[in-house]
Amino acid sequence: MTRVLVTGGTGYLATRLIADLLRGGAEATTTIRSAEREGAVREAVRRGGADDAGLRFVVASLTAADGWAEAAAGAEEVHHVASPMIQTTDPDEVVGPARDGALHALRAARDAGARRVVLTSSFAAVGYSPKPVRDYDESDWTDPETPGLPAYPRSKAVAERAAWDFVEREGGGLELVVLNPTWIAGPTLTAEARSSLQLFTAMLGGRMAAAPRQRFGVVDVRDVAAMHLAAMRTPEAAGRRYLLLADGGTTTWLGVAQVLHDRLGPLADRVPTTEAPGDEPSPLTIRNARAKRELGFAPRPAADTLVETVESMRDLGMLGSP
Ligand code: NAP
Protein backbone atom coordinates (compact mmCIF):
# COMPACT_ATOMS: atom_id res chain seq x y z
CA MET A 1 0.00 0.00 0.00
CA THR A 2 1.55 3.34 -1.02
CA ARG A 3 1.70 5.97 1.68
CA VAL A 4 0.77 9.38 0.33
CA LEU A 5 0.52 12.90 1.74
CA VAL A 6 -1.87 15.43 0.19
CA THR A 7 -1.57 18.97 1.54
CA GLY A 8 -4.64 21.15 2.09
CA GLY A 9 -7.30 18.48 2.50
CA THR A 10 -10.20 20.95 2.70
CA GLY A 11 -9.71 22.17 -0.87
CA TYR A 12 -11.77 21.81 -4.02
CA LEU A 13 -9.00 19.94 -5.88
CA ALA A 14 -7.54 18.16 -2.84
CA THR A 15 -10.84 16.50 -1.80
CA ARG A 16 -11.13 15.07 -5.33
CA LEU A 17 -7.51 13.90 -5.32
CA ILE A 18 -7.79 12.30 -1.87
CA ALA A 19 -10.95 10.45 -2.90
CA ASP A 20 -9.20 9.13 -6.03
CA LEU A 21 -6.14 8.05 -4.04
CA LEU A 22 -8.21 6.23 -1.41
CA ARG A 23 -10.29 4.50 -4.06
CA GLY A 24 -7.02 3.37 -5.66
CA GLY A 25 -5.95 1.75 -2.39
CA ALA A 26 -3.45 4.33 -1.12
CA GLU A 27 -2.94 5.03 2.55
CA ALA A 28 -3.43 8.79 2.75
CA THR A 29 -2.59 11.57 5.17
CA THR A 30 -3.73 15.14 4.67
CA THR A 31 -2.91 18.47 6.29
CA ILE A 32 -5.59 20.86 7.47
CA ARG A 33 -5.01 24.11 9.29
CA SER A 34 -7.76 23.60 11.80
CA ALA A 35 -8.75 20.26 13.35
CA GLU A 36 -12.39 21.33 13.16
CA ARG A 37 -12.36 20.79 9.41
CA GLU A 38 -11.80 17.04 9.59
CA GLY A 39 -15.49 16.11 9.49
CA ALA A 40 -16.21 18.16 6.36
CA VAL A 41 -13.22 16.64 4.56
CA ARG A 42 -14.31 13.12 5.46
CA GLU A 43 -17.80 13.84 4.17
CA ALA A 44 -16.44 15.23 0.88
CA VAL A 45 -14.16 12.27 0.36
CA ARG A 46 -17.04 9.84 0.97
CA ARG A 47 -19.08 11.77 -1.59
CA GLY A 48 -16.25 10.92 -3.99
CA GLY A 49 -16.96 7.24 -3.46
CA ALA A 50 -14.03 6.59 -1.12
CA ASP A 51 -13.81 4.85 2.22
CA ASP A 52 -12.34 7.50 4.52
CA ALA A 53 -11.64 5.16 7.44
CA GLY A 54 -7.87 5.08 6.85
CA LEU A 55 -7.50 8.80 6.12
CA ARG A 56 -5.20 10.48 8.65
CA PHE A 57 -5.24 14.20 9.48
CA VAL A 58 -2.38 16.40 10.70
CA VAL A 59 -2.79 20.07 11.55
CA ALA A 60 -0.24 22.22 9.68
CA SER A 61 -0.30 25.74 8.28
CA LEU A 62 1.55 26.97 5.22
CA THR A 63 3.06 29.69 7.35
CA ALA A 64 4.62 27.65 10.17
CA ALA A 65 6.93 24.65 10.41
CA ASP A 66 4.80 22.82 13.01
CA GLY A 67 3.23 19.57 11.95
CA TRP A 68 4.99 19.12 8.61
CA ALA A 69 7.42 16.42 9.73
CA GLU A 70 4.58 14.47 11.31
CA ALA A 71 2.45 14.89 8.18
CA ALA A 72 5.18 13.57 5.86
CA ALA A 73 6.42 10.77 8.13
CA GLY A 74 6.46 7.52 6.14
CA ALA A 75 5.13 9.13 2.94
CA GLU A 76 6.61 7.85 -0.30
CA GLU A 77 4.63 10.33 -2.38
CA VAL A 78 3.61 13.92 -1.64
CA HIS A 79 1.03 15.98 -3.53
CA HIS A 80 1.45 19.61 -2.55
CA VAL A 81 -1.86 21.21 -3.41
CA ALA A 82 -2.46 23.82 -0.66
CA SER A 83 -1.94 27.47 -1.55
CA PRO A 84 -3.99 30.59 -0.75
CA MET A 85 -6.80 30.99 -3.29
CA ILE A 86 -8.22 34.25 -2.00
CA GLN A 87 -9.08 37.52 -3.67
CA THR A 88 -6.74 40.12 -2.24
CA THR A 89 -4.71 43.05 -3.39
CA ASP A 90 -2.19 42.56 -0.59
CA PRO A 91 0.66 40.36 -1.86
CA ASP A 92 1.77 39.65 1.73
CA GLU A 93 -1.40 37.64 2.33
CA VAL A 94 -0.62 35.17 -0.43
CA VAL A 95 2.98 35.36 -1.68
CA GLY A 96 4.72 34.47 1.60
CA PRO A 97 2.28 31.67 2.53
CA ALA A 98 2.44 30.16 -0.99
CA ARG A 99 6.24 30.19 -1.07
CA ASP A 100 6.81 29.15 2.55
CA GLY A 101 4.18 26.44 2.29
CA ALA A 102 5.87 24.92 -0.76
CA LEU A 103 9.18 24.93 1.10
CA HIS A 104 7.67 23.36 4.23
CA ALA A 105 6.13 20.60 2.12
CA LEU A 106 9.29 19.94 0.09
CA ARG A 107 11.59 19.97 3.10
CA ALA A 108 9.32 17.58 4.99
CA ALA A 109 9.12 15.30 1.92
CA ARG A 110 12.90 15.25 1.55
CA ASP A 111 13.47 14.61 5.25
CA ALA A 112 10.92 11.78 5.24
CA GLY A 113 12.73 10.14 2.30
CA ALA A 114 9.79 10.56 -0.08
CA ARG A 115 10.43 9.66 -3.71
CA ARG A 116 8.58 12.46 -5.47
CA VAL A 117 6.51 15.61 -4.93
CA VAL A 118 3.85 16.66 -7.43
CA LEU A 119 3.06 20.33 -6.88
CA THR A 120 -0.03 22.16 -8.11
CA SER A 121 1.23 25.39 -9.59
CA SER A 122 -0.90 27.25 -12.15
CA PHE A 123 -1.04 28.83 -15.59
CA ALA A 124 -0.69 31.95 -13.43
CA ALA A 125 3.00 31.01 -13.02
CA VAL A 126 3.38 30.60 -16.79
CA GLY A 127 1.51 33.20 -18.77
CA TYR A 128 0.92 36.40 -16.82
CA SER A 129 3.80 38.45 -18.16
CA PRO A 130 3.07 40.27 -21.41
CA LYS A 131 4.27 38.79 -24.71
CA PRO A 132 3.77 40.22 -28.21
CA VAL A 133 1.78 37.13 -29.18
CA ARG A 134 -0.03 35.42 -26.30
CA ASP A 135 0.96 31.85 -27.14
CA TYR A 136 2.22 29.92 -24.10
CA ASP A 137 3.86 26.59 -23.43
CA GLU A 138 5.87 25.23 -20.51
CA SER A 139 8.98 27.22 -21.46
CA ASP A 140 7.20 30.43 -20.44
CA TRP A 141 7.36 31.91 -16.96
CA THR A 142 5.46 34.72 -15.28
CA ASP A 143 7.99 37.26 -14.04
CA PRO A 144 6.93 38.07 -10.45
CA GLU A 145 8.24 41.61 -10.95
CA THR A 146 5.90 42.34 -13.89
CA PRO A 147 4.40 45.79 -13.22
CA GLY A 148 0.77 45.57 -12.12
CA LEU A 149 0.88 41.79 -11.66
CA PRO A 150 -1.91 40.80 -9.24
CA ALA A 151 -0.99 39.12 -5.95
CA TYR A 152 -2.22 35.62 -6.84
CA PRO A 153 -0.17 35.06 -10.02
CA ARG A 154 2.79 36.52 -8.25
CA SER A 155 2.34 34.04 -5.41
CA LYS A 156 2.18 31.09 -7.81
CA ALA A 157 5.24 32.20 -9.80
CA VAL A 158 7.29 32.83 -6.65
CA ALA A 159 6.23 29.54 -5.03
CA GLU A 160 6.92 27.44 -8.12
CA ARG A 161 10.33 29.04 -8.62
CA ALA A 162 11.18 28.47 -4.95
CA ALA A 163 10.18 24.81 -5.31
CA TRP A 164 12.46 24.22 -8.31
CA ASP A 165 15.33 26.06 -6.61
CA PHE A 166 14.90 24.02 -3.43
CA VAL A 167 14.95 20.70 -5.29
CA GLU A 168 18.01 21.74 -7.27
CA ARG A 169 20.01 23.01 -4.30
CA GLU A 170 18.83 20.96 -1.34
CA GLY A 171 16.55 18.24 -2.70
CA GLY A 172 19.01 15.42 -2.16
CA GLY A 173 17.46 13.25 -4.87
CA LEU A 174 13.83 14.20 -4.22
CA GLU A 175 11.99 14.41 -7.55
CA LEU A 176 9.62 17.26 -8.42
CA VAL A 177 6.86 17.42 -11.03
CA VAL A 178 4.77 20.57 -11.44
CA LEU A 179 1.27 20.86 -12.87
CA ASN A 180 0.13 24.21 -14.26
CA PRO A 181 -3.66 24.04 -14.59
CA THR A 182 -5.68 26.82 -16.15
CA TRP A 183 -8.96 27.79 -14.43
CA ILE A 184 -10.29 24.67 -12.68
CA ALA A 185 -13.99 23.82 -12.86
CA GLY A 186 -15.96 20.60 -12.59
CA PRO A 187 -18.11 18.82 -10.03
CA THR A 188 -17.36 19.62 -6.42
CA LEU A 189 -17.12 17.19 -3.54
CA THR A 190 -16.81 19.90 -0.91
CA ALA A 191 -20.07 21.68 -0.13
CA GLU A 192 -18.29 25.00 0.44
CA ALA A 193 -18.48 27.56 -2.37
CA ARG A 194 -14.75 28.18 -2.44
CA SER A 195 -12.13 28.84 -5.08
CA SER A 196 -13.51 28.70 -8.64
CA LEU A 197 -16.94 27.76 -7.32
CA GLN A 198 -17.38 31.32 -6.05
CA LEU A 199 -17.38 32.53 -9.65
CA PHE A 200 -20.22 30.16 -10.44
CA THR A 201 -22.29 31.38 -7.49
CA ALA A 202 -21.64 34.97 -8.60
CA MET A 203 -22.68 34.25 -12.18
CA LEU A 204 -25.76 32.20 -11.34
CA GLY A 205 -26.85 34.52 -8.56
CA GLY A 206 -26.89 37.52 -10.89
CA ARG A 207 -23.95 39.17 -9.17
CA MET A 208 -21.94 39.30 -12.40
CA ALA A 209 -24.02 41.89 -14.23
CA ALA A 210 -21.76 41.95 -17.27
CA ALA A 211 -19.11 39.42 -18.20
CA PRO A 212 -15.56 40.71 -17.64
CA ARG A 213 -13.55 40.78 -20.85
CA GLN A 214 -10.98 38.17 -20.07
CA ARG A 215 -9.65 35.16 -21.94
CA PHE A 216 -8.60 32.01 -20.08
CA GLY A 217 -8.36 28.23 -20.29
CA VAL A 218 -10.62 25.76 -18.44
CA VAL A 219 -9.75 22.33 -17.11
CA ASP A 220 -11.81 19.78 -15.21
CA VAL A 221 -10.99 19.16 -11.54
CA ARG A 222 -11.30 15.40 -12.21
CA ASP A 223 -8.72 15.66 -14.99
CA VAL A 224 -6.33 17.65 -12.79
CA ALA A 225 -6.63 15.01 -10.05
CA ALA A 226 -5.97 12.30 -12.66
CA MET A 227 -2.88 14.21 -13.81
CA HIS A 228 -1.60 14.36 -10.22
CA LEU A 229 -1.67 10.55 -10.24
CA ALA A 230 -0.13 10.32 -13.73
CA ALA A 231 2.60 12.81 -12.81
CA MET A 232 3.42 10.70 -9.76
CA ARG A 233 3.69 7.40 -11.61
CA THR A 234 5.44 8.53 -14.84
CA PRO A 235 9.20 8.19 -14.38
CA GLU A 236 10.09 10.61 -17.22
CA ALA A 237 7.97 13.38 -15.69
CA ALA A 238 10.60 14.14 -13.05
CA GLY A 239 11.87 17.70 -13.45
CA ARG A 240 9.05 18.70 -15.84
CA ARG A 241 6.11 21.11 -15.71
CA TYR A 242 2.79 20.52 -17.49
CA LEU A 243 0.14 22.95 -18.67
CA LEU A 244 -3.39 21.62 -18.31
CA LEU A 245 -6.43 22.85 -20.20
CA ALA A 246 -9.30 21.28 -22.10
CA ASP A 247 -9.19 21.05 -25.89
CA GLY A 248 -10.96 23.63 -28.01
CA GLY A 249 -8.88 26.63 -27.01
CA THR A 250 -9.39 29.37 -24.49
CA THR A 251 -12.73 30.98 -23.64
CA THR A 252 -14.19 34.13 -22.07
CA TRP A 253 -16.66 34.77 -19.25
CA LEU A 254 -19.34 35.41 -21.86
CA GLY A 255 -18.44 32.06 -23.44
CA VAL A 256 -18.88 30.35 -20.08
CA ALA A 257 -22.17 32.17 -19.49
CA GLN A 258 -23.49 31.13 -22.90
CA VAL A 259 -22.77 27.45 -22.25
CA LEU A 260 -24.58 27.64 -18.90
CA HIS A 261 -27.47 29.54 -20.44
CA ASP A 262 -27.86 27.12 -23.36
CA ARG A 263 -27.59 23.94 -21.32
CA LEU A 264 -29.04 24.70 -17.90
CA GLY A 265 -32.29 26.49 -18.65
CA PRO A 266 -33.91 28.39 -15.74
CA LEU A 267 -31.00 27.59 -13.40
CA ALA A 268 -28.89 29.95 -15.51
CA ASP A 269 -31.50 32.70 -15.97
CA ARG A 270 -29.35 35.30 -14.27
CA VAL A 271 -25.99 34.65 -15.97
CA PRO A 272 -24.65 37.69 -17.84
CA THR A 273 -25.65 38.06 -21.47
CA THR A 274 -23.40 40.99 -22.33
CA GLU A 275 -19.75 41.82 -21.88
CA ALA A 276 -18.44 44.68 -19.77
CA PRO A 277 -17.28 47.67 -21.79
CA GLY A 278 -13.66 47.62 -22.88
CA ASP A 279 -11.33 46.27 -25.50
CA GLU A 280 -11.58 42.78 -26.89
CA PRO A 281 -8.87 40.68 -25.15
CA SER A 282 -6.11 39.65 -27.54
CA PRO A 283 -6.07 36.04 -28.71
CA LEU A 284 -4.65 33.60 -26.15
CA THR A 285 -3.22 30.19 -26.97
CA ILE A 286 -2.19 27.74 -24.24
CA ARG A 287 -0.57 24.47 -25.31
CA ASN A 288 -1.49 21.17 -23.68
CA ALA A 289 0.53 18.90 -26.01
CA ARG A 290 3.19 17.98 -23.48
CA ALA A 291 0.70 16.66 -20.93
CA LYS A 292 -1.06 14.68 -23.66
CA ARG A 293 2.16 13.19 -24.97
CA GLU A 294 3.90 12.44 -21.70
CA LEU A 295 1.13 11.96 -19.13
CA GLY A 296 -1.68 10.63 -21.32
CA PHE A 297 -3.81 13.72 -20.61
CA ALA A 298 -7.26 13.15 -22.16
CA PRO A 299 -9.30 16.20 -21.12
CA ARG A 300 -13.06 16.22 -20.90
CA PRO A 301 -14.91 18.75 -23.09
CA ALA A 302 -14.97 22.12 -21.29
CA ALA A 303 -18.71 22.62 -21.86
CA ASP A 304 -19.53 19.40 -19.99
CA THR A 305 -17.20 20.45 -17.19
CA LEU A 306 -19.01 23.79 -16.79
CA VAL A 307 -22.48 22.25 -16.79
CA GLU A 308 -21.53 19.48 -14.38
CA THR A 309 -20.02 22.02 -11.97
CA VAL A 310 -23.38 23.74 -11.62
CA GLU A 311 -25.31 20.48 -11.41
CA SER A 312 -23.07 19.32 -8.56
CA MET A 313 -23.53 22.63 -6.74
CA ARG A 314 -27.29 22.41 -7.16
CA ASP A 315 -27.31 18.84 -5.87
CA LEU A 316 -25.34 19.90 -2.77
CA GLY A 317 -27.71 22.81 -2.09
CA MET A 318 -25.03 25.38 -2.78
CA LEU A 319 -27.09 27.61 -5.05
CA GLY A 320 -29.66 28.72 -2.48
CA SER A 321 -33.37 28.59 -3.18
CA PRO A 322 -34.36 29.23 -6.80
P1 NAP B 1 -9.08 25.85 -2.50
O2 NAP B 1 -10.29 25.01 -2.46
O3 NAP B 1 -9.19 27.22 -1.98
O4 NAP B 1 -7.91 25.08 -1.76
C5 NAP B 1 -6.79 25.75 -1.24
C6 NAP B 1 -6.24 24.94 -0.10
O7 NAP B 1 -5.10 25.62 0.45
C8 NAP B 1 -7.24 24.76 1.05
O9 NAP B 1 -7.09 23.48 1.58
C10 NAP B 1 -6.80 25.83 2.04
O11 NAP B 1 -7.13 25.55 3.39
C12 NAP B 1 -5.30 25.74 1.86
N13 NAP B 1 -4.64 26.93 2.41
C14 NAP B 1 -4.72 28.20 1.98
N15 NAP B 1 -3.98 29.01 2.78
C16 NAP B 1 -3.45 28.22 3.73
C17 NAP B 1 -2.60 28.43 4.86
N18 NAP B 1 -2.12 29.64 5.15
N19 NAP B 1 -2.24 27.37 5.61
C20 NAP B 1 -2.70 26.13 5.33
N21 NAP B 1 -3.51 25.85 4.28
C22 NAP B 1 -3.87 26.89 3.51
O23 NAP B 1 -8.55 25.97 -3.99
P24 NAP B 1 -8.27 24.88 -5.13
O25 NAP B 1 -8.90 25.38 -6.36
O26 NAP B 1 -8.58 23.53 -4.66
O27 NAP B 1 -6.70 25.07 -5.31
C28 NAP B 1 -5.80 23.99 -5.14
C29 NAP B 1 -4.49 24.33 -5.84
O30 NAP B 1 -4.73 24.47 -7.24
C31 NAP B 1 -3.84 25.63 -5.38
O32 NAP B 1 -2.44 25.44 -5.33
C33 NAP B 1 -4.20 26.59 -6.49
O34 NAP B 1 -3.28 27.66 -6.58
C35 NAP B 1 -4.14 25.67 -7.69
N36 NAP B 1 -4.88 26.13 -8.86
C37 NAP B 1 -6.22 26.39 -8.75
C38 NAP B 1 -6.92 26.81 -9.89
C39 NAP B 1 -8.39 27.10 -9.85
O40 NAP B 1 -8.92 27.67 -10.79
N41 NAP B 1 -9.10 26.72 -8.80
C42 NAP B 1 -6.25 26.95 -11.10
C43 NAP B 1 -4.88 26.66 -11.17
C44 NAP B 1 -4.23 26.25 -10.05
P45 NAP B 1 -8.38 26.28 4.15
O46 NAP B 1 -9.58 25.47 3.81
O47 NAP B 1 -8.01 26.19 5.57
O48 NAP B 1 -8.45 27.68 3.63
Q: For 15-39, what is each residue's pLDDT tens digit? A: 999 999 999 999 999 999 999 999 9
CB atoms within 10 A of CB 95: 20
Question: Model confidence at 89, in pLDDT bands (50, 70, 90)?
Answer: confident
Q: Coil, helix or strand for 167?
A: helix
Q: How many CB atoms lie within 10 A of CB 170?
A: 12
> In this structure, how many other beta carbons lie within 10 angstroms of the beta carbon of residue 233?
12
For residue 13, give the ligand 1 atom closest to its CA: 26
The beta-strand segments (E) located in the chain are 3-6, 27-32, 56-59, 77-80, 116-120, 135-136, 175-181, 183-185, 215-216, 218-220, 241-244, 251-252, 285-286
Identify the CATH number of the domain defined by range 3-315: 3.40.50.720
262-313 residue pLDDT tens? 999 999 999 999 999 999 999 999 999 999 999 999 999 999 999 999 999 9
In terms of DSSP bridges, do strands 251-252 and 215-216 run parallel, antiparallel, or are they unpaired?
antiparallel
Q: Looking at residues 179-189, what average pLDDT do you find? A: 98
Ligand 1, atom 9: closest residue by C-alpha: 8
d(CA 13, CA 222): 8
For 168, phi then psi, to 5°, come to -70, -40
CA of 8 to the centre of ligand 1 (A): 7
Confidence of residue 88 (pLDDT cuts 50, 70, 90): confident
38-77 pLDDT, tens per residue? 999 999 999 999 999 999 999 999 999 999 999 999 999 9
Q: Is the pLDDT assigned to residue 322 strictly greater than 60?
A: no
pLDDT at position 257 is 98
Distance (angstroms) between ligand 1 centre and the Cα of 88 equals 14
Burial call 7-45: b when 16+ CB within 10 Å, e when fewer = bbbbbbbbbbbbbbbbeeebbbbbbbbeeebbebbbebb
Domain ranges (residues) in the chain? 3-315
pLDDT (0 to 100) of residue 321: 61
CA of 131 to the centre of ligand 1 (A): 28
